[in-house]
Amino acid sequence: MRPVQAVFITAAVVLRSLKHKSLSPSGALAAAVVGLGTFSNDVAMFTVTLLAFFLSSSKLTKLKSKRKQALDAHYAEGGQRDLYQVFSNGLTGTLLSLVYTYYFDGASGVPFFDLNSPWARTLVLMYVTHYACCNGDTWASELGVLHKQWPVLITTLHRVPPGTNGGISSTGLLASLGGGAVIGWFAAFSLWVQFWYRQWDAEGSTLVHGFPWFVVATGALGGLLGSLVDSVLGAVLQSSYLTPEAKVSNERRSAQDKLITGYNVLSNNQVNFIASLSTALLVGWIS
């Protein structure tokens, strides 16, 4: 473990987040828990992947905020993440990092090839998939509402107002694929730098393993698949209402609000948690 490293990186991330107002005070507390549980891992991939998700999603949240405010009745200027949002996106990843640390702390060798356990490969791919799903969903949500045409509801393929739970568009799907691929690339690059680029054959002329593009592909697939799972859950188990001001709301505030789709069963944070967890478990089962 690297506790000193974890404390310094966590403190830097939390202080930066508070300064730039990307986290609320409760969100900062949750981020500290996630950071300490992740940044102490010996494998740099865990740290790099989490930072890539946090930084890219925070930047996108602030993109075209006026456009999003005009569409979403619950839009909050500044896009601050609270405790529930942080844990819905970070709890599964933190637990995976801690499990990896428990079993393989201080172990030498490449997680995919040299460690005498299939768990190493499974945990790494589940971790990458989890944050790829979270990042893909964030990118799809933040960029999908900027699509020029109305999205279609994933369960009926009927046109629905932008911001409706379960609405998908070509822009949103490409964004989820790209968001997942970005996570996969950072994870693959950090693994390559820490382990693989130094592994040569017996003659010292050829690398044993090339760049791990399959990790990038896993991230892209996780981003797209996770976004689709999130959309199905949102379309069925979240209510979406159209207000008289032509904004989309997750709750009915007046008799004039018109139900678009869904049942009021899950919150947005619960949907995000279930979607990322189920996608990670699916990849873990396949691997």
d(CA 103, CA 271): 30
- What pLDDT score was predicted for residue 202? 53
The mean pLDDT of the chain is 87
Three-state SS string over 35-87 comes to HHHHHCCCCHHHHHHHHHHHHHHHHHHCCCHHHHHHHECCCCCCCCECHHHHH
Tens of pLDDT, residue by residue over 79-118, are 678 999 999 999 999 999 999 999 888 766 666 656 567 7
In this prediction, what percent of the chain has a pLDDT beyond 70?
85
50 φψ region: left (φ > 0), alpha (ψ -120 to 50), beta (else): alpha
pLDDT classification of 21: cutoffs 50, 70, 90? confident
pTM for the model: 0.90
Q: Which residues pair with 240 in a beta bridge?
A: 261
pLDDT beyond 90 at 29: yes
Tens of pLDDT, residue by residue over 137-191, are 999 988 887 788 999 999 999 999 888 999 999 999 999 999 999 999 999 999 9
Closest CA to 23 of 52, 49, 62: 62
- What pLDDT score was predicted for residue 276? 98
